[in-house]
């Protein structure tokens, strides 16, 4: 317990839209929130974030020492430490014992989490648990031996570079793959990326399972379709719609039970219509962008995580509305639609729904308007700043 408000608080380590949803959910219930993030994180503009500490993630020279020092200086002892990005997950998990002396930690150690977070190991774990994945090739495979199109992805996101910013590179032929393969090796090393066969299809085949697990047992879950992306092929999901997808739930449970999972989690699949099988794409063992949709569906993943880690129960989310079944970030949804038009493609029903259908706002909120007002300027600044 701390002296801040008589309640155990939360430190959000990195992240943007998911961290914003957590700050609002807990802040509305009187929980003090501190955000460690860069100055352009939209979450830092929320009225529910009491303190913003400048944090450069993987570029921090001594991140663990910084966290411990800030905790002591600001009296955060016993506060819940939640990762909002992939670097935060690995940092906390690899330094679990040391950080546990200062914070309440909801995540497993790195031995348990690494097979879920490292894409080079995820396919092996999936196979042992009985899940399908896209066909995987060795990173330095001979370009002539691949069945195109393929996708190059970073094994995990620990730093920022052209590949991690893009999330994935599509290669439709051996010539392009050879160029991108060499660039990926230069940026992240010969073993720092994975090569997968591309599964065709758009948002109607992009399934997600989201849940809170405790001691290897599911405590509540939801499933959804990630109907839009920006950029169109390998971007963020600005429009997500709740759907009952039993196959996705069953497959995700097999995977998470295999590691005795504990904490918040999103598992991403893609339905391969060529064989009508779900293929595991990714696992997010951190706060994900559209976690606020769970509150709207009557699920309190955030409150469950807080209560389990701190021992302090919370009342229900104040803004939960079960009649809302979609989540939207307006700016990237509009940009996604514009990208369709710019490529002379029809956006389809999902494209128009993404900007017109009733949905929970992923950024704007009537009781917390500043993040919504700042999102577009921040997006412009992010696009215009020099690449590294």
Whether 309 maps to a domain, the answer reads yes
At 4 the pLDDT is 53
Strands 79-83 and 103-104: parallel
How far, in Å, CA of 265 to CA of 259, rounded? 13
Domain around 224: 203-384
Specify if 117 maps to a domain. no
CATH number, domain with residue 185: 3.30.1490
Assess contact for 314 and 31: CB atoms under 8 A. Answer: yes
Same domain (yes/no): 153, 289? no
Shared domain check, 243 and 289: yes
Identify the domain boundary among 150, 180, 197. Answer: 197
Which is nearest to 81 in space by CA: 306, 311, 266?
A: 306
Per-residue pLDDT of the chain (388 residues; tens, 9 = 90+): 344 557 899 999 999 999 999 999 999 999 999 999 998 899 999 999 999 999 999 889 999 999 999 999 999 999 999 999 999 999 999 999 999 999 999 778 888 899 999 999 999 999 999 999 999 999 999 999 999 999 999 998 777 889 988 889 999 999 999 999 999 999 999 999 999 999 998 888 999 999 999 999 999 999 999 998 887 778 889 999 999 999 999 999 999 999 999 999 999 999 999 999 999 999 999 999 999 999 888 899 999 999 999 998 887 775 444 545 899 998 888 888 888 877 767 777 778 888 888 899 999 999 999 999 998 888 787 777 655 4
* Same domain? 145 vs 218: no
Query: Within a domain: residue 323?
Result: yes
| Beta carbons of 48 and 26 less than 8 angstroms apart | yes
Per-residue pLDDT reduced to its tens digit, 257-274:
999 999 999 999 999 999
What's the pLDDT at 244? 94
Asked, for residue 122, whether it belongs to a domain, the answer is: no
Reference 183, options 196, 164, 159; nearest CA is: 164
The CA-atom distances, in angstroms, between 287 and each of 24, 73, 134, 258 are 13, 26, 25, 21
**What is the structure's pLDDT at 133?**
97
Cα 78 from Cα 71, distance rounded (Å): 9
Check: CB of residue 230 under 8 Å from CB of residue 236.
yes
CA distance 91 to 89: 6
Does residue 281 sit in the same domain as residue 331?
yes
Q: What is the model's pTM?
A: 0.92
Please give the pLDDT value at position 313: 82
230 in the same domain as 342? yes
Task: Assign 3-class secondary structure to 236-269.
Answer: EEEEEEECCCHHHHHHHHHHHHHCCCCEEEEEEE
Domain count, the chain: 3
Q: Are residues 187 and 61 in the same domain?
A: no
Q: Please, which residues bridge with residue 239 across strands?
A: 228, 328
Q: Which of 107, 122, 157 is the last residue of a domain?
A: 107
Residue 163 lies in a domain: yes
Find the CATH number of the domain harbouring 302. 3.30.470.20
Assess whether 180 and 222 both reside in one domain: no
Q: Based on the fold, state whether residues 92 and 185 are members of the same structural domain.
A: no
Domain check: are 184 and 212 in the same one? no
Say if residue 94 is in the same domain as residue 209.
Answer: no
Is residue 24 a part of any domain in this protein? yes
44: domain CATH number is 3.40.50.20
d(CA 325, CA 151): 31
Residue 123, domain member (yes or no): no
Q: How far apart are CA 311 and CA 78, in angstroms?
A: 11
Residues 224 and 317 reside in one and the same domain = yes
For residue 348, the model assigns a pLDDT of 79
Residue 304 located in a structural domain: yes
Give the per-residue pLDDT at 84.
Answer: 95
151 and 246: one domain?
no
Strand order in the sheet with 150-154: 136-137, 193-197, 150-154, 169-171
């Amino acid at each position: 317990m701390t002296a801040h408000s008589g309640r155990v608080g939360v430190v959000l380590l990195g992240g943007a839209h998911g961290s914003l949803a957590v700050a609002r959910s807990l802040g509305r219930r009187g929980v003090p929130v501190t955000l460690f993030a860069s100055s352009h994180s939209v979450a830092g503009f929320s009225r529910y974030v009491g303190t913003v500490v400048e944090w450069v993630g993987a570029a921090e020279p001594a991140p663990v020492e910084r966290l411990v020092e800030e905790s002591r200086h600001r009296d955060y002892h016993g506060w819940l430490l939640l990762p909002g990005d992939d670097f935060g997950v690995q940092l906390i998990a690899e330094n679990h014992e040391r950080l546990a002396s200062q914070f309440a930690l909801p995540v497993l150690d790195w031995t348990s989490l690494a097979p879920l977070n490292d894409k080079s190991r995820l396919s092996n774990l999936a196979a042992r648990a009985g899940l399908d994945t896209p066909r995987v090739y060795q990173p330095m495979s001979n370009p002539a031996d691949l069945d195109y199109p393929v996708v190059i992805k970073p094994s995990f996101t620990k730093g920022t570079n052209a590949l991690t910013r893009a999330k994935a590179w599509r290669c439709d032929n051996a010539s392009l793959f050879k160029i991108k393969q060499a660039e990926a090796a230069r940026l992240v090393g010969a073993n720092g990326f994975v090569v997968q066969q591309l599964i065709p299809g758009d948002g109607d085949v992009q399934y997600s399972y989201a849940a809170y697990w405790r001691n290897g047992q599911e405590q509540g879950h939801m499933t959804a379709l990630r109907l839009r992306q920006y950029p169109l092929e390998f971007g963020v999901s600005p429009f997500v719609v709740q759907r009952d997808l039993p196959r996705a739930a069953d497959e995700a449970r097999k995977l998470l039970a295999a590691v005795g999972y504990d904490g918040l989690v999103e598992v991403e699949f893609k339905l391969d219509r060529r064989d009508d099988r779900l293929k595991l794409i990714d696992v997010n063992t951190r706060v994900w962008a559209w976690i606020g949709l769970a509150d709207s569906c009557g699920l309190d993943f955030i409150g469950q995580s807080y209560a389990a880690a701190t021992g302090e129960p919370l009342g229900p989310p104040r803004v939960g509305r079960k009649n809302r079944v979609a989540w939207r970030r307006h700016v990237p949804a509009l940009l996604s639609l514009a990208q369709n038009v710019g490529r002379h493609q029809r956006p389809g029903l999902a494209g128009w729904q993404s900007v017109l259908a009733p949905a929970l706002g992923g950024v704007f909120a009537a009781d917390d308007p500043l993040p919504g007002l700042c999102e577009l300027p921040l997006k412009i600044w992010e696009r215009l700043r020099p690449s590294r």
